[in-house]
Amino acid sequence: MWLPSVIISLFFIPNALDKILNSNQMDKIVTNSTIMISTGIFLLIATGLFLYNKTILLGTTLLALYMTFIVFIHMYKGKPYEVAILIVMATILASYMRKPKIFHQRQEL
């Protein structure tokens, strides 16, 4: 049950650390190091929320929105974006596998 979440986290955590430690990358769409560091911190917080059971929905939402934004950037730059779409889907699937009840709509009678 936890394996997909751990694998997703192993993608996001190094990505976040790279943005924090190598914030002066010039080949990115945003070259401002403050924005890159902020994005790295955002990713670390969102991954923590994703891994904590009580905030899994918020963490999943933040990570999926971030990666959806990355998909649009890759489409804009003409880069392959299929892997980024798969990461969005895998993030949602990993969350669903851990807590399927939060994705079901509650019906009131």
Domain boundaries, the chain: 3-100
pTM: 0.86
- The three-state (H, E, C) secondary structure of 24-73, written as one string: CCCCCCCCCHHHHHHHHHHHHHHHHHHHCHHHHHHHHHHHHHHHHHHHHH
14-31 residue pLDDT tens: 999 998 888 776 566 666
Band of residue 7 on the pLDDT scale cut at 50, 70, 90: very high
By C-alpha distance, which of 55, 45, 82, 78 is closest to 67?
Answer: 82
What pLDDT score was predicted for residue 30?
65
| Cα Dmax for the chain | 57
Percentage of the chain lying above the pLDDT 70 cut: 90
Q: Mean pLDDT throughout 46-56? A: 94
Distance of CA 66 to the CA centre of its chain: 5
80-95 residue pLDDT tens: 999 999 999 999 999 9
Band of residue 62 on the pLDDT scale cut at 50, 70, 90: very high
What pLDDT score was predicted for residue 28?
65
Query: What amino acid occupies position 21?
Result: L
Rounded CA-CA distance 39/36 in Å is 5
